[in-house]
Amino acid sequence: MEEFGVLQLHRNKHFIKDCCAVINSEWPRSETARLHSLEASCDTLPTSLVLVKKLENNGNKAVIGHSKITPIPSMLGSCFVESVVIDHRYRGKGLGKFLMYKTEEYIKTLGINTVYLSTKDKEDFYSKLGYVRCPPVSIYGSFSSVQKLPVIISPSKKIYMKKKL
């Protein structure tokens, strides 16, 4: 996998528009809203990571994947992998697995030991990476506000999963 690398988007802002295009190819959203979300990437979370491929001809790199890690304010030592996407042209080559491992490596550097995520149709993929089903988690609010409010879970096909690093 020498030809591939994973970079922090906020340290490589020249990839923002290409990253936006990769994400929007899977989950369409206005470019303005998507760019605003990507520009929030920072060292302390939320962090967007980009999977890049080195181009043979000129040494430039092309964005072919993205993952976004967000904090879970009510659960110290935990984070939520909000999105993982690989460009359609590069799927089925082990790059999703590579991106997830690199994302987990980055998460460990932050001192975080539990990762949560949700999926609608990739449970088998995440299970192979060591994730197990768990109850839904909220990535919004603090612990005290979560406890005071009733938990209302709308019917959803999302499956929540977690992994101890």
pLDDT at 81 over 60: yes
The CA-CA-CA angle for residues 47, 9, 74, to 5°, reads 5
- Asked whether the beta carbons of 49 and 9 are under 8 A apart, the reply is yes
pTM of the model: 0.89
Write the CA distances from 46 to 42, 131, 139, 154, 159, integer angstroms.
6, 21, 11, 25, 22
* Band of residue 144 on the pLDDT scale cut at 50, 70, 90: very low
* Per-residue pLDDT band at 1 (split at 50, 70, 90): low
Residue ranges of domains in the chain? 4-164
3-state secondary structure of 151: coil
Write down the CATH number for the domain with range 4-164: 3.40.630.30
What mean pLDDT is predicted for residues 135-162? 67
